[in-house]
Structure 1
Amino acid sequence: MTRPTPDAPLSSPRCSGPHRTASRAAALALAAAAVAGAGTPALTAGAVAGTSAAAALALAPAASAVPAEQVDLADTAGILDRNQLLRDLAEIEFREPTRVAVFTERGPDIRDLDEDRRSQAFNGRVLDHARTQRPDWLSADGQKWADGLVIVAVDPDNRMLGVYQGEDRRLSTDTQAAVRDDGKDAARDARWTDAVVDIVDSAASHIGRPLHEEPGLWFGAGGVAVGGAAAAAAVIATRRSQRRKAEADLDAARTHLTSVTMDWDATEVNASTVPTDDPFGARLMERFRGFHQSTLDATRRLEDLDAVPPGRRHAKSFRKDADSLRDDVAELDRLDDAIADANTFLNRLPGWEDAWDRQAGPLRSDLDHVGDLREHLDGVAGAAAPLGALESFRTEALGELESTGAGLSERRVTPQAALESLDRLRRRLTDLLEQVAQAVSLAQDDSDDTRLMEEGLDEHRRRPRDARGSILDAGDGWRTYWTITSFDAGYRAGVSSVESSHQSSTGSGTGYGSSGGSFSGSGSSGSF
């Protein structure tokens, strides 16, 4: 994570991105389709007329892409990688000289507001920042955003994304929502720099779009054949962000694999002395059977993926393979850490106290967040009773952890008994969270909202937590236990999905709240 950066312009990127290529591809495809149409007697008069119109458009000069003049960065939340931002924005071209501003902030909690008021509050904060810190982002009369400007705003804590434009870069409300949507996947993964770049890339593909790139044109003109050109252009515009996500997965896999290979000899030694008469040690050793071969296989897979040319890394198969490799190697990395702690803790070797702290750490972390869960679910119908049970469990679990730790120190409790106690507590926590989840699902307004909430909860429950050294988690336990942190992330994702669904039919995320006054600049925001 970078440190907060004061408002400062980044040097102007020289861009050579996908949008100019997409424009030319569409024009060439139009011309080819027009020629084919002219030589086909079976074409109806309407089709010929439509194709002729398409040909005329194809022969018109393509819009000339130009680089962004400047990038203004106001990363007050400290979440962006400045170097990556500059590097990735250098791949993007706007059709007209455009200044890009990026604003991040950890604002006051607005999560209890409905979607429309939340958006207005966030929009208002972006406007307040411009008025107090960056008046050059505003028009001369202060009533709109400055011409030639696109602003992307992020609040990671309140899970908000916003996009705003000068009047000469104005996008329709629906298009603004589509542009924000293009950054949601990265934002939900906390890949903040990627989210900003994805939004800028999407905005660049829409701003100043010439007539011959409008998808609706082909059907109105009767040029069905050339409709594929517009679709191809849209596909090209998304390839860079897909490739970047896959390459980020490769980088993560490479980091995990380096850790595994560097610890290889130590892991072999630790594994040779883990007691297999202990059920937890035996489970780890069963998982370790294929460790050596799995590491070699992962190395080969990484080499194969590294050999794929950049131009093919947007492919679905490549992205799927990179994602799978990242998960598999991360699991190997967790396993070798757990084996080291199992050897130390189960054999009571020097440092066993620290190893025990790492075993109890995931549960302690969850118990520390019980209050946060209560705060987030306050007012949810039917949630009071299971939340009360969860709070009672917190007190009981903390007491048992303290008693177990003392018993270990006094040798009244064996390492195996300590792990059994920990396993029992984590399973009880899982049962209680399932009761909370049921209450949250039942509290939704209709079956569609219930489905979206359940999908959000389930998606995050199935994501393994990076609990370094956890014997229970590495022993396939992360599929057994539900944690408060993953529950909370799933609940937030579910709320975001529900509100986004409502917003798409009832609201636009526009308006600047009470602080806006007569301000009428183009822009909108929404949750992710």
Structure 2
Amino acid sequence: MRRLLAAVLLVLLGLLCGSAAAALAEPPVEFVVEDRAGVLDRSRLVPAVEAIDFYEPTRVAVFTYRGAAADNLNEEVLRFARAEHPEWISTDGQKWADGLFIFALDPVGRHVGTYMGEDRKVSLEQREEIQNASKDLLRDAQWTDGTIAGIRRGAELINQPWYRSAAFLVTAWSAVAAAVLGAATWLIVRWRTRVDSRRELARGDASYANVSMDLQVTELNAGTIPESSRYGSTVLEKHRTFLAKYNAATQLSNQAHALTPRAMGRRPNLKLARNYADASAELDALDDVIADTNALLNRGSAWAPAWDRQLAPFRSDLAAIEQMLSKRHAEGDSATAAALRSFREQSQRDIERWSAELAEGTISPETALDRLRDARTHLTELLKNHADTVIAGFTKNEREAKMMREEMENAQAGTKAKHGRAYEPSILGTVYPSYYFFSVPAFNTGFSTGVGSVSSARGGGSTTGYGASGGSFSGSGSSSSF
């Protein structure tokens, strides 16, 4: 079996490597740059493209222009070719000229297109591959690098020999490697699962040990929290189930520690270890909140660090505002961005004032928590307003706006499984649900996923027609958005 496998591999390697070098060795016979948009760096573009090898002698042309989102790039390329480069069109006027590959870009309307002569044409799916190869760079306004990437991918696909096609490679390598990959995958999955199970078990043990060690102290702290306090009474509600949850975590601990090393490689047991770790971590956070609630509301000796821990999430949000606003498409110069910056400056002064008044005894801990809650609620509203600004600035139509808005809303209300958001170990985080406050990290998550979803949707469909002015022209080509 080993000899047969080795022989097949040698044949495949000889076929692929020996023939490929001879096939991929034709630089462009001509390279024309029509940068009407003025966005390309010719000093980098020309030598880079001239160094790209095609399978057959190919004329390469690049065309850029400043259009609009509603434009049909195919129609604009054809209109330009008819007016400025009739040699790009076949003698009968119905196709692109043989031997030609055109890469077109509209940096304003954000379209990219690819067009080929009949002897150079590829499938619609492959044209999309060529366009997609450039889109990440084009989205970052790296126009020259994006153009080079698209042309390079075109060179790999145009007139591609059958033995280098994806279908052949998949079939050939699958026949040889299926059994090997299957066994290797199984081993890797089991090993990875075992490693993850051990990590979750260690995480659970660390939290469980903390909870167990502080169990009596937690009960003492809970016993002196004033039930008359709005915040204290809610924390006490959480405490009433504390012992039941601790007993449940103990059972999970016993089950997880009974697993053999081999059993840890099974997915259901990884879930068991993770449940144990999550349950213990939640208890570990809650007993800290119980201690802070007791210290702050009763103004115990540890009230100052307890108050600092309540401020920590808000301070973190304020510190992250500028970085959030500096991101691309984040509308950092907008009125809503200015409102966020102004709020940050005012809030930093407010925090110092609240802390001083709390230390002097001129306000109660309850009042201090009320002010912190109100400030975080105000930040939530400002972030929602700025989300509307960002959505309006990035999206092109109501469908895109709805898509991005849903991502922003999901980020605020999302579960830990979807967005990685966990229980906030603070008094406010215990009293109010996780979706009550819109944090800067949640905004960033919604912003990133929203931009990604909209960008993917824009690139998801290709336009193949040449518009009303194209007439009966049916040359191979298409365009898509980025």
Q: What TM-score does the superposition give when structure 2 sets the normalisation length? A: 0.52
Q: Does 1:422 align with 2:378?
A: no
Secondary structure in 2 matching 1:295: helix
In the alignment, does 2:244 pair up with 1:288? no
Q: Secondary structure at the match of 2:434?
A: helix
Alpha-carbon shift at residue 345 of structure 1 (Å): 0.7
| Structure 1 residue aligned with 2:171 | 216
State how far apart, in whole Å, the 2-side matches of 1:372 and 1:450 are. 25
State the distance in 2 between where 1:421 and 1:257 align: 34
Matched ranges for 1:117-516 at <5 A: 216-217=171-172, 231=182, 233-377=184-328, 379-380=329-330, 384-441=334-391, 443-444=394-395, 458=410, 462=415, 463-464=420-421, 468=425, 470-488=426-444, 491-492=447-448
Residue 240 of structure 1: how far off its partner (Å): 2.2
Per-residue deviation, 1:335:
0.8
Does the CA contact (< 8 Å) of 1:280 and 1:416 recur in 2?
A: yes
Q: Secondary structure at the match of 1:342?
A: helix
- Code of the aligned partner of 1:216: T
How much is the aligned-residue C-alpha RMSD, in angstroms?
Answer: 4.3
TM-aligned CA distance change 1:245 to 1:385, over 3 Å = farther
Given the superposition, is the C-alpha separation of residues 344 and 488 from structure 1 closer, same or farther in structure 2, using an over 3 Å criterion?
same
Equivalent residue of 1:277, what SS?
coil
Q: 1:384 to 1:338 in 2, by over 3 A?
A: same
Aligned counterpart, 2:43: none
**Residues 325 and 332, structure 2, Cα contact 8 Å, conserved in 1:** no
**1:89-138 deviation per Cα after TM superposition (whole angstroms, max 9, x unaligned):** xxxxxxxxxxxxxxxxxxxxxxxxxxxxxxxxxxxxxxxxxxxxxxxxxx
Asked whether the equivalents of residues 215 and 227 of structure 1 are also in contact (C-alpha less than 8 Å), the reply is no
Contact preservation (8 Å) 1:380, 1:440? yes
Question: What CA distance in whole angstroms lies between the structure 2 residues aligned with 1:218 and 1:58?
Answer: 11
Q: State the alpha-carbon separation in 2 of the partners of residues 499 and 311 from structure 1.
A: 44
1:218-248 per-residue CA deviation (whole Å, 9 max, x = no partner) reads 9879xxxx96885464344333223323332
Q: Distance in 1 between matches of 2:184 and 2:357?
A: 66
What are the superposed Cα offsets for residues 61-87 of structure 1, whole Å, 9 maximum, x if unpaired?
Answer: 999xxxxxxxxxxxxxxxxxxxxxxxx
Distance of aligned partners of 1:498 and 1:245 in 2 relative to their CA distance in 1, 3 Å threshold = farther
Change in Cα spacing, 1:351 to 1:382, as seen in structure 2 (3 Å) is: closer
Residues in 2 aligned to 1:429 and 1:388: alpha-carbon distance in whole angstroms: 13
Task: Give, as a single letter, the amino acid of the residue that structure 1 aligns with 2:322.
Answer: G
Q: For 2:283, give the aligned amino acid.
A: L
- Contact residue 221 and residue 290 of structure 2 kept, 8 A: yes
CA distance in 2, matches of 1:392, 1:242: 48
- CA distance in 2 between partners of 1:383 and 1:289 (Å): 49
CA distance, structure 1, for counterparts of residue 243 and residue 326 of structure 2: 46
Q: Residue 482 of structure 1 aligns to which amino acid in structure 2?
A: F
3-state SS of 2:326 partner: helix
Instruction: Between the two structures, name the one with larger relative contact order (CA 8 Å, sep ≥ 6).
Output: 1
Q: In structure 1, what is the equivalent of residue 154 of structure 2? A: none
8 Å CA contact retained: 2:331, 2:389: yes
Offset of residue 259 of structure 1: 0.9
> Aligned-pair distance for 1:261?
0.8
Matching residue of 2:39? none
1:395-433 CA-partner distances (Å, limit 9, x unpaired): 232233223222212222111111111111112222322
Identity %: 29
Greater Rg by CA:
2
Per the alignment, residue 101 of structure 1 pairs with none
